Structure 1
Amino acid sequence: MLPKKLVMSAFGPYAGEVDIDFSKLGKKGIYLISGDTGAGKTTIFDALVYALYGEASGPVRETNMFRSKYASTDTQTYVELIFCYGNRDYRLRRNPEYERPAKRGSKIVVEKPAAELFLPDGEIVSGVKEVTQAVAELIGLDRAQFTQIAMIAQGDFLRLLLSPTKERSDIFRKIFNTGLYRFLQEKLKKEAEETAKKLESIKRDIEHDKKNIQLAENAVLEDSPLLSELISKISEYTNKDRKTAEQISKKIADNEEKLAQNNSQLGYAASMEKIKQEMALCKTEIEKNIPFAQQLEKNYKEAKERYDKEYAAAIEVIAGIKDNMGTYDEYDAVLVQEKEYVSQLAVMAQKEEAECRQLKILSKQIEEGKKQQSLLQEAMLKKEQCRHREGILQKQLEDLQELLVNTADYNALLNRYKKACEAYKAEQGSQKVIHAECDKMEKAYLDEQAGIIASALQDGRPCPVCGSVQHPQPAVLVENAPDKEQLDIIKKKRQMADKKVSELSMRAGDLKGQLSALDGQIIKKAEQLLGCRERGRIKEQAAESQKNADRERTVIRQEMDKLQKEVLLKEKLDRELPLLSGKYDDIGEKAKEYQQKKAVLAANIENIGEKKTEKAKLLTYKDKTEAVKMLENKEMHAVLLEKQMNEAQKKFAEKENFLSSEKAKFTVLRGQLEKSSTLDLEKLKSMRASLTQAKKELTENQQLIHIRMAANEKALKDIIEQKDSYEELTEQYIWQLDLAQTVAGMQSGKSKITLETYIQMQYFDRIIERANTRFMVMSAGQYELIRKTAAQDMRSQSGLELDVIDHYNGSRRSIKTLSGGEAFKASLSLALGLSDEIQSSAGGIQLDTMFVDEGFGSLDEESLEHAVSVLNTLAQGNKLIGIISHVGELKQRIDKQIKVSKMPYGGSRAEVIN
């Protein structure tokens, strides 16, 4: 992947559209990106990565931070990249989410993120996720892999250089996709844990079954660790209970036979006693019911006599009323018709009166509405004039408010800038003190080292430093010289002081640039709005102007509210007046219709009166209601006569049947009693009680044994069913646990190296081998990276730490002992080795470009020469390498450059120099 052209618009510190033509830099070699602090050098990397993957090059900046604070509101924020891959050109365009003015009105809307990829064949891929996926598939790398290979930022590869095994393992997992081995570790561990859970569950079940085993009183069952022995003992105890239960069953059967014989005898004796009781009851019932039967017979005869006397007369009256019932219906129909006509006439009169009242009201409303309509003609025009003036005032107020906010921001920013300058000066003084102390200690240390070597020199033997066999002026030991640890501590303090001074300088520079840009915006805005360029009067004049504009806007809004009501009233009248006129005509037609219906109903009422008089002459009773009432009385009397006679007859017959039945029953019972034999009932009852008690005791004992047998047999069955599973899981858990601990690096007494770490170690060894080809060159053959093989302890993960071999003295020490410049060279070498290994592992990936961000400032002249030489060698293989740096020597060594400048107003700009 080789970038050819990059366009940034309102992106980061770039306020307008910036065009960077990478094709002017060629297809290989080194070019330098230089410029002021905060001007936007790293932003070029951010824009390139954002165009490809929709994210920044590093973790600090997020996509919602890309909108330039210097850009005007109508300038779009986007990045466009043209790059070559496989000798074919591709074009990318992306924009982040940002706020912009609406195309209509004064609202602020959110521009949604969007992306487009234009392919060589003319096809277009759209959508944020879709474009990112298409780029990853085309290049063969995701963002994380791309930034590790092509975007080398100092903070990232220093972290890779000094990271412990765990952090480095996380980095390699993403790059080399070793998560599959970690997944295998977790899966083996999970399977061992699941087997342990199953085994523990079976153990709990077996213990539960043991607790459920029931024993007879004073009986003991000895426990055994072997399931087979326990099963044998439970079986033996259960067989013993089974034999006892069989003996009890025989005794119960004998008892039940005797009890059945006793029950038979008791039943016979009880039946004879019951016969005697029933005979006495029958005799009592017969004697009690004979008087009742005689009275019921008398009642029946009296009811029969009344029925014969009155029933026929009532039937005759009923027939006469029914024959004349039709005449009453005709008379009632005439009355109903007359009442209906009268009711309709009253309704028509009311409706006519109501319509006339409504006509008067509508006539008045129409007249008044037309008067108001003519008075409201000018309201709409006045309202539009007020609305236009209000928009002008609103824009003026917004501009004034923005000016006041910018003025407050300027004052706050000015205070921050002053504090930043003070902090920078104070820290710069501390830095000078630490530098002087460090230089002094470093010289003393080196003199001491020379003295140590000189103390071991002997005439005739070569010096390990210069090789001479004569030593005319050997160095002497220095008193109170610091040791290596003390020197490292002061160097670390010096490095921290340098870093802090640099950070404070960058911070003060950024604040100064922001202050200058904001000052220009305020003066320009104040001159446009107030005609004032005096800073001291801007706030006062803006506040006064804002107050006047706000007062005028309030008056206009009050007038608009009044005009709005008039406009709404006119619109309402325009809609309602035609409707009222139409309604007036409709109501007039209805009033005429009601007058005609009234005349027809009056004629109908007169005709129905004559018919009512003729029908009344034919009636026997006053009306149909009176005739129906008389009919119902006669019918009820006839029914009552018949019912009283039937009920009296039924009661008399029922009593006669009851007496006959009781007499026959008494005769049968007396015959049964005469033929029966005599038994001792009390003696039989005593024998039954004795047999019943014996049966109860035997049954309870039998139930206890059966319950105990059922529980023990269930427990025995459950234990037998789980025996094979228990033994199988125990054997399985042993080898699963051993395997899981092995791949997780948890074996006792051994280095804690997981399976994933072991695989990553192979990649790491190849990375170190590739890195050393550069590190040996950049360190002039002094240093070589090597993987640490011995763990610091057996409790933490190991296998991915680094040591360094110093070929000047043959020592091997921690990578952390390197100085700042040495660490940068080691870090750059390791990052280049990582880049080589990733491309080699990925296979077929074409990356024709690389970017290195900062770090060269810590190198001396010789080291800088070696580093540039290594990068030049790397670039000879058709690779274009960009370097961000403030180092002046690089500007002299590198001809091709992208120069980034921070402008006082309007953001930054970039220029390609070749």
Structure 2
Amino acid sequence: MRLHRLEVSAFGPYAGREVVDFDALGADGLFLLHGDTGAGKTTLLDAVAFALFGKVPGARADAKRFRCDVAERGTSTEVTLELTVQGHRFRIVRNPEYERPKLRGDGTTKQQAKASLTWLDDPPSGQPPEGVTRIDEVARTVERLLGMTGDQFFQVVLLPQGEFARFLRAETKEREELLEKLFGTQRFFEAEKWFSERRQSKRRELNERRQSVREWLARIGQVAGEEPPDDGAADWVADVRGRVAAAVAEAKAAADESATARERTAAELDARRSEADRLRRVRNAHESLAELAKEADLRAEWKAELAAARRASAVTGLAAEADRQRTRLTRALEQDERARETLAARGRGDGRVGSELDGGEPDVAALRTRAGEVREDAGALAGLVEEAQQQVRDRKRLQQLGEIAEHATAQAAALGEKLAGLPEHTRQLRTELDAAAEAAVRLDAVRTREAELARVLGEAERVPTLEQEAAGAREAEQAAIDAHQSAREALLDLRARRLAGMAGELAGELQDGEPCAVCGSEDHPAPAAGGDGVGEAEERAATEAEQAAEQRRSRAATARHEADTALAAVVERLQDRTAGQVRTELDEVRHELATLTESAVRKDRLEELVRADEAEYEDLTARRTSAEREAAAAEEQRRALAEQVERQERRLDEAAGEFDDVAARRAHLTELADALDGLADVRTELRAARERVDEHAAAAAQAARTAEFADVEEALAAARDQQRIAELDQSLADAQQAEATARAVLAEPELADVEPDRVVDVESARQAAEQARERAEQDVAALQKHTERGRELDTLAGELDAVLRELAPAEEEFAELDALTDVVNGRGQNARRMSLRSYVLAARLEEVAVAATARLRSMSHGRYSFVHSDAPGSHGKSGGLGLDVLDDYSGMVRSAKTLSGGESFLASLSLALGLADVVAAETGGALLDTLFVDEGFGTLDGETLDVVMDVLDDLRAGGRVVGLVSHVEELRQRIPTRLRVRKARTGSSVRVEGGLDGDIGVAWS
């Protein structure tokens, strides 16, 4: 990477547009940015960082204020940087977000951030030739070309003030955080996390398998009615199954015995029941014959009654028919009387009808002739009746047309009134709709803000709990540290005591004539006395106790670190806000959200109302026009119909005569004709009824004589209905059948020797059979219970065996994974107590120490070298990131914190340059041709400064361009090409050419 040109406008302290030509400044490979303290030298480096990554290094990134406070109103804040990376030259232009004055009126408005990248030659493969304009795309393109992130760039290219002095003196945790940013060890962290998550997953699976074993044992215990033991589950299951099998065998023997007894008692019961049934049949037969003998006279009476009823059946039908004919004759006489009265009433006013009725029995032919004449007169009036009916409808129509015209006129007036107020109502609805639409647009943003504040409030409310957990974790860690120290002191004390008594221990093993294990002599003239009794077993127990205490200490330290990290993360996200402040802000946002929601909810309803108002306006307009047309048409029809009704009225009055109307006259004529026809029909039926009565009475008298009865009345007295005849027949037949059945029973051979007076004891046999049956059923139920229990135990035992077979390899697999996870995370058998990520960082730090030592020895005249240590930290802290210095003058390794100010600068600069080389090689990034050093050269004496300049000359000789940022005056004499930054009251822009001094004025308010 090589910088060519930098332009800043209204950026930081620079009020105007300033230009830095790095090609001219770096022509000799080394240049100086010189100026007074606070003159804005570091701001130029910030401008380079902002152009590349959109942020600046160090604490200045938190302020996020890039615009110059005294810049002109129309001057925009902008940074432009031209550079070449991997052979591609391009220009980056960035504008930060800032508040600028409004173009019209008072106040300010937010100027949005912008960025663009333009290729000045052929773009890389896959890049658009027109460049990119999205902020995120610009950042990704720069990171892809440089091969490093912004944090790595700030440590490798822009060596900031004091950063590496802090890194040199930092604790392990702080040094680890920086190295993680530079070397990207996230993948190793993911590996640690994967192992931990894998162990948790396997632990859950193993616990599930163990729980499954416990559940199967519990189910077996439930079936067996026993509590399963904690140990020896397999033996217990085998014992239970054996006892259940024995119980099954006993139950089967008992069931077989009770079944035999049941069969024997059942056979005895069947024999006695058979004997009792034979005795019952004989007794019933004798009793039936006795009853039949008593009823012999009654059966003779039944036979006589049945014979008379059957002879009378031929007379009853004819007598009934004669009665029916007499009834019809009576009804015909009554109908004749009513017909004469009806005709008299209908013919009152008709002279011909009156004369026929006065003459006695009217002639049927004359009645029908007169009926025909009357019907002809009624038919002549049929057409006029229809006209009269139409006349009634026309009068109703006249009234309806008047009402229609009146109603349509009133409706048109009412619709006009409604139309007058509708536009104003529509305008009001549209105003409310616009407000609801605006609320709906703002709703998503406010909801997002409300969710974010709710999450922050939840975290704020957790702060006291997290603080208590952190305090508890620190106390637990301290307790674990104390316990570990005590265990270690006890171990060291035992070892010292054993070493002190080692001579006595060895002397106790000497045997006469055998060589000494120490000197080899077979003579033992003066063996040492025995020690205080401390042996290898005591030392091994103390060692194991110390290791266990160390593991507890390590776990406590991890828990404390996790608790502190969780608390720090929450506090950082709160941004100095209390829970009350967050709750107040959340309440305000929720109130705003409720207001917006209430308004936005009405949007759809308001849209419907607006559409309804518009549709109603169109509908009312159309309805008013229709009502006006309807009123005019109805009035026109009413006038024409009134003239027609008047003409028709005169014709109908003439045809009605003395009746109310034509229909009444026609109805009278029709009724008169019907009355004449009715009387003629009745006279005809009356004559036929008299003839049928005489005929059926003669037939009934002849039938009675034939059946040997004196008259019809005697025959009817002997007659019986069919139900009585059937009952008599059935009674006689039943008696005959009962007698035959009883005699047949007594004639059966198997009943010949049965005496009716014998007694058979069935009850005792039944009780014995019932008791045997109950006992057999109980034994069968017991057998089924034990058999089912055995089958269930066999099934459960098989399932338990399968689970146990799967549990053993799962436990072995988890033990292996558990041990490996502890090693990866710096615990267990990991003697260095270094996690995988710490191990990788330690290896990178060792490379940095080697690269930095070469420059530090040169700058310190061979006195100092960096020493990397991977030993565990104090008090159980993780190790691997120790960094001290070896002082060749004393031959001792010293802490970097003991270096003087100048020595610290040399060590920090060496460390920064070494780290830059290692990071560049590690990331595989582009060749870094440009390097800025913003460090305290003022702490160096003249001789040391010469040595530092020699090292920087070596960098320049290697092809790099090195820019120094310092206010030290002596550097101005050593570096001919420089850029001076001065304070000024007004901004002036001066272009700096290579080889010449140039000033950049900085405006100060």
Return the TM-score normalized by structure 2.
Answer: 0.54
Q: 1:163 to 1:338 in 2, by over 3 A?
A: same
Which letter maps to 1:145? Q
155, 161, 168: which is aligned to 1:154? 161
The partner residue of 1:834 within 881, 903, 915 is 915
Superposed, which structure 2 residues align to 1:563-712 within 5 Å? 593-606=633-646, 613-619=661-667, 682-683=763-764, 686-687=767-768, 689-691=770-772, 693-695=774-776, 697-702=778-783, 704-706=785-787, 708-712=789-793
Alpha carbons 2:405, 2:630 under 8 Å: kept: no
1:768 Cα deviation after fit? 0.8
Find the aligned partners of 1:601 and 1:130 in 2 and give their Cα distance.
88
Matched ranges for 1:340-739 at <5 A: 340-351=396-407, 354=410, 593-606=633-646, 613-619=661-667, 682-683=763-764, 686-687=767-768, 689-691=770-772, 693-695=774-776, 697-702=778-783, 704-706=785-787, 708-739=789-820
Cα 1:157–1:620 change in 2 (3 A) is: farther
Q: CA deviation at 1:25?
A: 0.6
Q: TM-score, normalised by structure 1?
A: 0.59
Q: 1:860 to 1:664 in 2, by over 3 A?
A: farther
CA distance in 1, matches of 2:329, 2:987: 128
Structure 1 stretch 778-787 or stretch 702-711: which is displaced more? Answer: 702-711
**SS of the residue 1:91 aligns to:** strand
Q: Establish whether residue 211 from structure 1 lines up as the match of residue 211 from structure 2.
A: no
Matched with 1:631 is: none
User: In 1, are the aligned partners of 2:21 and 2:991 still within 8 Å (CA)?
Assistant: no
Which amino acid in 2 is paired with 1:149? V
Report how far residue 881 of structure 1 moved: 2.1
How has the CA–CA distance of structure 1 residues 221 and 61 changed in structure 2, closer, same or farther, with 3 Å as cutoff? closer
Alpha-carbon separation, structure 2, partners of 1:113 and 1:816? 43
- Residue of structure 2 in register with 1:811 after alignment: 892
Shift of 1:342: 2.9
Structure 1: distance between partners of 2:414 and 2:643 = 28
Q: Tell me how far 1:720 sits from its aligned partner.
A: 0.5
Task: Single out whichever of 229-238 and 760-769 deviates more from structure 2.
Answer: 229-238
Q: Deviations over 1:414-442 (max 9, x none)?
A: xxxxxxxxxxxxxxxxxxxxxxxxxxxxx
Once residues 831 and 249 of structure 1 are traced to their aligned partners in structure 2, the CA distance between those partners, rounded to angstroms, is 96
Contact conserved, 1:14 with 1:908, CA < 8 A, in 2? no
Tell me the amino acid that sits aligned with residue 638 of structure 2.
K
Partner amino acid, structure 1, of 2:213? I
CA contact (8 A) 1:151 1:851 kept: yes
Q: How far apart are 1:311 and its partner, in Å?
A: 14
Cα separation, partners in 2 of 1:178 and 1:590, compared to 1, 3 Å = closer
| Cα distance between partner residues in 2 of 1:219 and 1:682 | 46
CA distance in 1, matches of 2:251, 2:773: 19
SS at match of 2:132: strand
What residue number does 1:132 align with?
139
Q: 1:799 to 1:659 in 2, by over 3 A?
A: farther
Q: Please give the secondary structure, in 1, of the residue aligned with 2:220.
A: coil
Q: Is the 8 A contact 1:851 1:882 kept in 2?
A: yes
Q: Aligned letter for 2:249?
A: K
Question: What's the CA shift string for 1:377-417, capped at 9, x where partnerless?
Answer: xxxxxxxxxxxxxxxxxxxxxxxxxxxxxxxxxxxxxxxxx
CA distance in 2, matches of 1:152, 1:668: 135
- The correspondence of residues 61-140 of structure 1 with structure 2, limited to 5 A, is 61-62=61-62, 64-100=64-100, 109-119=109-119, 120-121=121-122, 122-140=129-147
Q: What amino acid maps onto 2:924 in structure 1?
A: G
* 1:2–1:84 contact (8 Å) kept in structure 2: yes
Structure 1 residue aligned with 2:246: 240
Residue 125 of structure 1: SS of its match in structure 2? Answer: coil
Change (3 A) 1:54 1:596: same
Kindly provide the CA deviation profile for residues 509-546 of structure 1, in whole angstroms up to 9, marking residues without a partner as x.
xxxxxxxxxxxxxxxxxxxxxxxxxxxxxxxxxxxxxx
- Counterpart CA distance in 2 for 1:109 and 1:334 is 86
- On the 8 A contact 2:146/2:925 being kept in 1, the answer is no
**CA offset digits 1:536-585 (Å, max 9, x no partner):** xxxxxxxxxxxxxxxxxxxxxxxxxxxxxxxxxxxxxxxxxxxx999999
Shift in Å at residue 766 of structure 1? 1.8
> Residue 774 of structure 1 contacts residue 870 of structure 1 at CA under 8 Å; is this kept in 2?
yes
| Cα 1:8/1:767, change in 2 over 3 Å | same
Question: What residue in structure 2 maps to residue 441 of structure 1?
Answer: none
Structure with greater Cα Rg: 2
- Aligned-partner Cα distance in 2 for 1:780–1:662: 151
Displacement, 1:688? 5.6
Shift of 1:133: 1.1
Q: Is the 8 A contact 1:212 1:712 kept in 2?
A: no
Equivalent AA in structure 2 for residue 619 of structure 1: A
User: How far apart, in 1, do the equivalents of 2:20 and 2:136 lie?
Assistant: 26
Q: Tell me by how many angstroms 1:192 deviates.
A: 3.5
Instruction: Give the SS at the match of 1:618.
Output: helix
Does the aligned pair in 1 maintain the 2:31–2:976 contact within 8 Å?
yes
Q: Aligned partner of 1:603: which letter?
A: E
Structure 2: how far apart are the matches of 1:687 and 1:750?
87
How is 1:309-320 mapped onto 2 (pairs within 5 angstroms)? none
Could you tell me how far apart the structure 1 residues matched to 2:669 and 2:783 are?
93
C-alpha spacing 1:686/1:588, structure 2 compared with 1 (3 Å): closer
Matches within 5 A, 1:713-792: 713-747=794-828, 750-792=831-873
Which amino acid in structure 2 is aligned with residue 823 of structure 1? S
Question: Which residue identity does 1:156 align to in structure 2?
Answer: E
Q: Is the 8 A contact 2:90 2:117 kept in 1?
A: yes
- CA apart distance, 1:815: 1.8
1:331-371 deviations in Å (ceiling 9; x for gaps): 99647733651343222441575499799999xx9xxxxxx
Question: Structure 1 residue 724: deviation in Å?
Answer: 1.9
Alignment-mate amino acid for residue 824 of structure 1: F
**1:185 is aligned to 2:192:** yes
Q: Tell me which residue corresponds to 2:934.
A: 853
Residue 948 of structure 2 corresponds to which residue in structure 1? 867
The unaligned stretches of length 5 or more in structure 1 are: 277-300, 366-579, 624-651
- 1:247 partner amino acid: A
- Comparing 712-721 with 59-68, which one deviates more in the overlay? 59-68
Distance (Å, rounded) in 1 between the aligned partners of 2:219 and 2:412: 100
Q: Could you give the per-residue CA deviations for residues 863-904 of structure 1, whole angstroms, max 9, x where no partner exists?
A: 333333322322232222223333333344333333334444
Q: Is the 8 A contact 2:408 2:628 kept in 1?
A: no
SS of alignment partner, residue 126 of structure 1: coil
Offset, 1:309: 5.8
From the superposition, tell whether residues 660 and 52 of structure 1 become closer, same or farther in structure 2 (CA, over 3 Å): farther
Letter in 2 for 1:863: T
> Separation in 2 of the partners of 1:219 and 1:589?
100
Distance in structure 2 (CA, Å) of the matches to 1:898 and 1:659 = 150
Q: 1:246 to 1:692 in 2, by over 3 A?
A: closer
Is the contact made by 1:214 and 1:712 (CA closer than 8 Å) also made in structure 2? no
Report if aligned partners of 2:34, 2:981 keep a CA contact under 8 Å in 1: yes
Q: Tell me the C-alpha RMSD between the 2 structures.
A: 5.5
Whether the 8 Å contact between 1:770 and 1:833 is mirrored in structure 2 is: yes
**Cα shift at 1:77:** 2.8
Distance 1:888 1:307 in 2: 161
Residue deviations 1:62-98 (CA, integer Å, cap 9, x gap): 5853233334454333322111224432011222333
Closer, same or farther in 2 for the Cα pair 1:98/1:213, shift >3 Å? same
Q: Percent identity?
A: 28
Q: What is the total number of aligned residue pairs between the two structures?
A: 645
The one-letter code matched in structure 1 to 2:58 is: G
Relative to structure 1, the CA distance from residue 353 to residue 145 in structure 2 (aligned partners, 3 Å threshold; closer, same or farther) is closer
